[in-house]
Amino acid sequence: MELFGAGRIKMAQPAIILIRPQLGENIGKAARAMLNFGLTDLRLVAPRDGWPNPDAGPTAAGAGVVLDKARIFSTVEEAIADCTHVYATTVRNRDMPKPVATPHEVALQMHGLIAAGERPAVMFGPERSGMTNDDIALADTVLTVPINPDYGSLNLAQAVILVSYEYFQSKNETPAYQPAHDDGLSSKKELVDLMEHLESVLDSKGFFRSPGRRDPQRRTLRNLLQNAELSSQEVMTLRGVVKSLGRNGAD
C-alpha cells in the first residue's frame, strides 16, 4: 500500500465483501476464485456459522492466504468504511436510482478508481436471498451480469470469479474513470456518518411521520447522497448544515 495526499491509503486492488455468507464451503470457493486472479482482500460480514469455519479450508484448495487475511465485520457499514466507491452485485431491479454496469465495465472503472487513489469494493449477498435493499442503498453502482434471461442462477463463487477474472484481464486497458474531485471521494465511513446524522435530525423534527414509509424514505435519502459523489470537504460542509438545522433539536 502507498500513502498519498493527506494521509489517505491507496489500495492496489478492490476489496471483495461477502455479506452474511451461509456456507463455509462457499467462502473457501470464493477465496480460491479470488486468488486465481490475484485478489486477496476478502471481507466477511456476519458469516452465519461464525469464523473461522473449518469447511472453508478444503474448498479453498491452496488459497489459505486469502482466508488467513480475511477480515470479519458485524455490519456492512463497518466493512465498507475505508472504501470510496462500492459496487453491489444483484440481478433484480430494486427501483433505486443507481448506475448499472457489467463486470467488464466495473473492472475498467475499478482500475481507474485505484489509479486515481480511490478504494473500490464489490459486495456479494447471501447465497439464498441476496442483498437487502438496505445493503444496496450503501452502494454507488449496481453490478449486473448479462446472463440467459430464461435461467439466471449464478452461485456465490461463480459471481466472485466473474468479477475477479474481468478485473485481472482488464488490467492493461485504459481506465474508464475520471475522479469527480481532485482530492478524491469521501470514505464510506464519512458518508454513513453524514447519513446517520441527517436521519437523527430528521427524526427529531418529525420528518419520518409514517412508520410504514420510514425505511423507503431513509433509503431514498441515502441514495441521493451516494449518487452525489461527495468529497470529504463536501461531507464536512453538509455535516455543518445538518448540525445547524438540528439546533434546538438533535445535533
pLDDT (tens digit, 9 = 90+) per residue, 29-51? Answer: 999 999 999 999 999 999 999 99
Q: For 8, phi and psi rounded to 5 degrees? A: -80, 155
pLDDT band with cut points at 50, 70 and 90 for residue 188: very high
Q: What is the mean pLDDT of residues 220-242?
A: 92
pLDDT at 150: 84
- Amino acid 233 reads Q
Q: What is the mean pLDDT of residues 226-248?
A: 90
- Exposure string (b/e) for 69-92, b if CB count within 10 Å is 16 or more? ebeebeebbbbbbebbbbbbbbbe
Q: For 67, phi and psi rounded to 5 degrees? A: -65, -40
pLDDT greater than 60 at residue 248: yes
Q: What percent of the chain has pLDDT over 90?
A: 70
pLDDT greater than 50 at residue 6: no
Q: Which of 9-23, 113-127, 164-178 has the lowest mean pLDDT?
A: 164-178
pLDDT band with cut points at 50, 70 and 90 for residue 9: very low
User: Could you name the CATH architecture of 2-169?
Assistant: 3-Layer(aba) Sandwich (3.40)
Q: What is the mean pLDDT of residues 48-75?
A: 96
Residue 48 CA to its chain's centroid (Å):
19
CB atoms within 10 A of CB 183: 13
Higher pLDDT pick, 137 / 248: 137
pLDDT greater than 60 at residue 200: yes
Q: For residues 85 and 184, what is the distance between their CA atoms, to the nearest angstrom?
A: 11
pLDDT at 11: 47
pLDDT at 249: 47
Express each pLDDT in 84-143 by its tens digit. Answer: 999 999 876 667 888 999 999 999 999 999 988 899 999 999 988 889 999 999 999 999
Q: Where in the chain is the domain with CATH 3.40.1280.10?
A: 2-169
The label of the residue with cell 486515481 reads 116
